[in-house]
């Protein structure tokens, strides 16, 4: 049998042909590069999404506290006294034992997950009933750009009885 015939018959002369792999090294390299680029983009978007979700959660918590304060005001004709909003105090319970804030909110921007929102009764005789709420956490500045009052140094979200959540 000649060398040419052996080559035609395949590996070992049994008619088996050498099969080329599905991917060669160049294809694998491009695949790894593309996956790396997509991963980098996803990681950047993940961080931005997490920060935006934290701001939304904080705003929602302040709105829940505000709603509890308004219900308290409807029943008692005054806002609760100034205090931190924690499970240990009774800032949103009235004399009849009615609890206006069923769940104590946790600020997602607070790394300890235990710092309390600050509730301040700012009622004055001249201006009438009023309050303000502030979150305990520090939010990434870039995530607060959509809030009223945004500045380059903004880090905290506030709310009062006349304004939607804002920052200073």
Strands (E), the chain: 83-85, 117-121, 131-134, 157-160, 163-167
Q: How many CB atoms lie within 10 A of CB 156?
A: 17
What is the pLDDT, as a whole number, of residue 33? 92
- Can you tell me the distance from the alpha carbon of 111 to that of 115, in angstroms, rounded to the nearest whole number? 9
Task: Identify the pLDDT of residue 37.
Answer: 93
Assigned token pair, 137: 């956490």
Mean pLDDT (10-residue bins), the chain, 168 residues? 52 54 78 91 82 88 89 88 76 82 84 85 81 87 86 87 80
Please tell me the predicted confidence (pLDDT) of residue 36.
92
Rounded Cα distance, 45 and 146, in Å? 18
Give me the pLDDT at residue 35, please.
93
Q: Measured between alpha carbons, how far is 65 from 136 in angstroms, rounded to an integer?
A: 14
User: Hey, where are the domains in the chain?
Assistant: 22-167
């Amino acid at each position: 049998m000649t060398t040419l015939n052996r080559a035609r018959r395949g590996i070992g002369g049994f008619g088996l042909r050498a099969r080329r792999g599905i991917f060669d090294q160049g294809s694998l390299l491009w695949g790894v590069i593309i996956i790396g680029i997509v991963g980098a983009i996803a990681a950047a978007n993940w961080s931005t999404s997490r920060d935006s979700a934290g701001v939304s959660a904080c705003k929602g918590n302040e709105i829940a506290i505000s709603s509890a304060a308004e219900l308290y005001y409807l029943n008692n004709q005054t806002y609760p006294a100034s205090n931190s909003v924690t499970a240990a105090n009774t800032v949103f319970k009235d004399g009849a034992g009615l609890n206006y804030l069923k769940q104590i909110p946790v600020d997602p921007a607070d790394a300890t997950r235990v710092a309390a929102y600050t509730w301040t009764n700012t009622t004055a005789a001249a201006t009438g009933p009023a309050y303000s709420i502030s979150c305990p956490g520090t939010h990434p500045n870039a995530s607060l750009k959509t809030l009223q009052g945004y500045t380059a140094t903004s880090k905290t979200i506030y709310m009062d009885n006349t304004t939607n959540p804002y920052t200073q």
